[in-house]
Structure 1
Amino acid sequence: MMADGAAGPPGTSASASVARPRVVMPLRRAAVAFSPADAGLNHGAVLFAKLVFAATLPLFAQVFYYLNEYPPPYLLSKGWPFLTLPLALYAMARMKLPVGGMFLVVLAYALGFTPLVSMIQLGNGFLDALTTTIKAWPFTYYFSLSAMLALLAVPVTSIRKVVLAFGAATFVLMVLIYLAAPTSWYANNPADSKLLLYDLERGYRVYMPMFFGMILVFFLARSFILRRNVLFALAIALAFLPMLFIFKQRAAIAAAVVVVAYGMTMSLPPKARRIIFGAALLGMAAGIVFIAYKLGLFSGGSLDGAKDALGASLSVRQNSSALAFAFLGDDPMRWTFGVGATTRFSTTTLNDIFGNDQFFIADLGWIGVIFEYGVIGAALLAVLYIWCFIYVFRLTRDLADAFTLALADYVLYLLVSSAVYSVVFTPGELGVVMALIVHLDRQRRRTPCPPASRGPLHRGISRTLGNSHATRHVTLGRAGAPRSAG
Structure 2
Amino acid sequence: MATLVFILCLPFFAQVFHYLNELPPPYFLSKAWPILVLPFTFYALLRLDLPGQSLFLVLLAYVLGFTPLISVMQLGNWFSDAMITTVKAWPYTYYFALSGVLALLALPAQKVRKVFLGFGQGTFILFVLLWVLVPGSWYGSSPDEGKMLQYDVERGNRIYMATIFGMIYIFYLGRSFIETRKVIYLAGLIAAFLILLFIYKQRAAIGAVFLVTMFGMVTSLPARARRFAIGAGAVVGAGLLIAVMAKLGLFTGAGWANLGEKLGGSLSVRQNSSALAVSFLGTDVERWLFGVGATTRFGSVTLKDIFGYDQFFIADLGLLGTVFEYGLVGTFLILSVYVWAFLTINRNGRVDGDRFQIVLGDYVLYLLVTSPIYPLVFLPGELGVVLAVAIYVHRGVGRQHEPEGRKATRAGRVSLPWSRRKPA
Q: TM > 0.5 between the two?
A: yes
Larger Rg: 1
Matched, 1:110 2:68: no
Greater RCO, CA 8 A, separation 6+: 2
Q: Is the 8 A contact 1:163 1:212 kept in 2?
A: yes
- CA shift at 1:351, angstroms? 2.2
From 59, 84, 90, the counterpart of 2:37: 84
In 2 relative to 1, CA 343–192 (structure 1 residues): closer, same or farther, beyond 3 Å? farther
| Equivalent residue, structure 1, for 2:278 | 325
**Superposition map of 1:27-426 within 5 A:** 48-281=1-234, 283-284=236-237, 287-288=240-241, 290-301=243-254, 303-426=256-379
Q: Is the 8 A contact 2:177 2:185 kept in 1?
A: yes
Q: Is the 8 A contact 2:124 2:192 kept in 1?
A: yes
CA distance in 1, matches of 2:283, 2:198: 43
Identify which range, 352-361 or 441-450, moves more after superposition.
Answer: 441-450
CA deviations over 1:202-256 (Å, ceiling 9, x no partner) = 0110012101111111121222122110111001001111100000001111111
CA distance in 2, matches of 1:397, 1:157: 17
Identify which range, 55-64 or 354-363, moves more after superposition.
Answer: 354-363
CA distance in 2, matches of 1:282, 1:323: 38
Provide structure 2 residue ranges, at least 5 long, that are not aligned to the other structure.
Answer: 404-424
TM-score, normalised via structure 2 length: 0.90
CA distance in 2, matches of 1:63, 1:363: 19
CA distance in 1, matches of 2:137, 2:303: 29
Q: Is the 8 A contact 2:352 2:394 kept in 1?
A: no
Provide structure 1 residue ranges, at least 5 long, that are not aligned to the other structure.
Answer: 1-47, 451-486
Q: What is the one-letter code of the residue matched to 1:132?
A: T
Q: What is the one-letter code of the residue matched to 2:27?
A: Y
- Secondary structure at the counterpart of residue 253 of structure 2: coil
In 2 relative to 1, CA 60–332 (structure 1 residues): closer, same or farther, beyond 3 Å? same
Identify which range, 81-90 or 311-320, moves more after superposition.
Answer: 311-320
CA distance in 2, matches of 1:168, 1:153: 24
- Secondary structure at the counterpart of residue 69 of structure 2: helix
CA distance in 2, matches of 1:232, 1:449: 32
CA distance in 2, matches of 1:322, 1:192: 28
Q: Is the 8 A contact 2:343 2:361 kept in 1?
A: no
CA distance in 2, matches of 1:324, 1:284: 33
CA distance in 2, matches of 1:375, 1:333: 10
- CA shift at 1:428, angstroms? 0.5
CA distance in 1, matches of 2:225, 2:267: 36
Runs of 4 or more consecutive aligned structure 1 residues displaced over 6 Å after TM superposition: none
Q: Tell me the number of residue pairs that the alignment of Structure 1 and Structure 2 aligns.
A: 403
CA distance in 1, matches of 2:183, 2:250: 43
Normalized per residue, the structure richer in helix is 2
Q: What is the one-letter code of the residue matched to 2:347?
A: R
CA distance in 1, matches of 2:123, 2:72: 40
| Equivalent residue, structure 2, for 1:34 | none
In 2 relative to 1, CA 324–303 (structure 1 residues): closer, same or farther, beyond 3 Å? farther
- CA shift at 1:135, angstroms? 0.6
- CA shift at 1:312, angstroms? 1.4
Q: Is the 8 A contact 1:226 1:402 kept in 2?
A: no
In 2 relative to 1, CA 286–321 (structure 1 residues): closer, same or farther, beyond 3 Å? farther
- Secondary structure at the counterpart of residue 296 of structure 2: coil
CA distance in 2, matches of 1:350, 1:149: 40
- Secondary structure at the counterpart of residue 178 of structure 1: helix
CA distance in 2, matches of 1:211, 1:295: 31
Q: Is the 8 A contact 1:226 1:400 kept in 2?
A: no
CA distance in 1, matches of 2:82, 2:234: 44
In 2 relative to 1, CA 136–434 (structure 1 residues): closer, same or farther, beyond 3 Å? same
The root-mean-square deviation of aligned C-alpha atoms, in Å, is 1.9
Q: Is the 8 A contact 1:342 1:348 kept in 2?
A: yes
TM-score, normalised via structure 1 length: 0.79
CA distance in 2, matches of 1:285, 1:274: 17
CA deviations over 1:10-52 (Å, ceiling 9, x no partner) = xxxxxxxxxxxxxxxxxxxxxxxxxxxxxxxxxxxxxx21111
Q: What is the one-letter code of the residue matched to 1:381?
A: I
Q: What is the one-letter code of the residue matched to 1:430?
A: L
| Equivalent residue, structure 2, for 1:23 | none
Q: What is the one-letter code of the residue matched to 2:42?
A: L
- Secondary structure at the counterpart of residue 136 of structure 1: helix
- CA shift at 1:191, angstroms? 4.1
Q: What is the one-letter code of the residue matched to 1:389?
A: F
- CA shift at 1:281, angstroms? 4.4
In 2 relative to 1, CA 345–180 (structure 1 residues): closer, same or farther, beyond 3 Å? farther
Q: Is the 8 A contact 1:211 1:429 kept in 2?
A: yes
- Secondary structure at the counterpart of residue 301 of structure 1: helix
